[in-house]
Chains A and B, each alone.
Chain A
Amino acid sequence: MAARALVDELNPTGPGNAAWRLEDFVDSLVVELDKTRETLAVKAINKPLSYSVKEVALDVNAFPTYDGDTVRFTTAAPGQEGASKLTIQLGSITDQQVRASTKRREGEPDQNLDELDVDDATRSKLRKIGVSSVDDLKDLEARKVDLKAATGTDIDYSSLARKINQSRRAKSAPAVDGVSLSQSNGEPCLLIEGRNLGLDPTFPPVAVLNDQLAEVLSSGPGHLTIRLDTEDSLREENEVVVTLDPYAVVKVNVRA
């Protein structure tokens, strides 16, 4: 113990006393509190007296540091004076309160900001104004918050929305399983089958067959039909390029 204290004193930011982020500390405290509740619940089975933890508070003596981006705390070591006192108070919360204070989301799950292809500086600026997910961004946009003014950067919704959509599309990238000749209302057409093809109902796919614009008759996630002028429209070697939406283009070489 004494040796450990000496090491901490000599090297307060060393491995024995590494700086921690408050959110990581609170996460750990919450986990410990949950385990405590589980222990007491088990104990209640065997002991006639059972208690519920209503509140846990922890006072920690620590030194805050700011590296220009994140605030971290280093636990005060023996002999160090002038530490700040950090009080963390955790109270119980019922399921009902959780439901009342949690944002209700419908449809697809919220996308975390970490999953987006945005640079670290932008992500950091957004996090500082409390944006941690794509839905948080949508909320701000709906309230017409000026992101440029709030973050002091050139971030705007349209550039972010582009990155968000790009990132989402990358997760459901199009894949072509096969191409065949088919008929649609008696007319010859090229049927492209696959996955994640036409996903954006607001954007009709655009097809180019052998450098000529071709009409897309129908499209869906699993298929795409392209009108052929005649059955002889196809050459021996054909190149089909389809822009499925602003973020997905597929190129298929078809041999007739």
Chain B
Amino acid sequence: MDEAFLPLAELLPGLLPSLPDLYDVDAGMRSRVTGLEVETPVELDIVVDADGRVQLGGTPPIYHLETSTLPVFHAIRIVAVRDAEEVG
């Protein structure tokens, strides 16, 4: 796989931010994230080995300059929910 790309198993957890709970002691309020939905364009590196097995690599857009031939942007969406025992 091209070294500029990550296996999806590394890319996907990286898309989920770890946000702490928000406290407002004065107002007596506490807010917490209960779910995340992240959708981003990605460049993909799809490698097929001799046995036909597919390896998937991805990365968010690498370059932020408009060029005459743009990379192909695919898209990935991940929906995550906070574990049940922590919500509540």
Q: Which residues of B contact A57 (CB under 8 A)?
A: 76-78
Distance to closest chain B CB from A58 (angstroms): 5
A39 and B8 contact, CB distance less than 8 A: no
Please count how many residues in chain B sit with their CB below 8 Å of the partner chain's CB atoms: 41
Q: Which residues of A contact B25 (CB under 8 A)?
A: none
Instruction: Pick from A25, A29, A32, A55 the residue with the most CB of B within 10 Å.
Output: A32
Q: Which residues of B contact A79 (CB under 8 A)?
A: 69
Please count how many residues in chain A sit with their CB below 8 Å of the partner chain's CB atoms: 44
A32 and B77 contact, CB distance less than 8 A: no
Interface residues of B in 1-28 (CB under 8 A from A): 2, 4, 7-10, 12-13, 16, 18-20
User: Footprint of B on A, CB under 8 Å?
Assistant: 1, 4-5, 17-21, 24-25, 27-29, 31-36, 39-40, 43-44, 47, 49-61, 75-80, 83
Closest 7 CB pairs of A and B: A35-B9, A32-B8, A51-B80, A18-B48, A59-B75, A55-B79, A28-B54
User: Footprint of A on B, CB under 8 Å?
Assistant: 2, 4, 7-10, 12-13, 16, 18-20, 33, 35-36, 44, 46-48, 52-56, 62, 69-83, 86
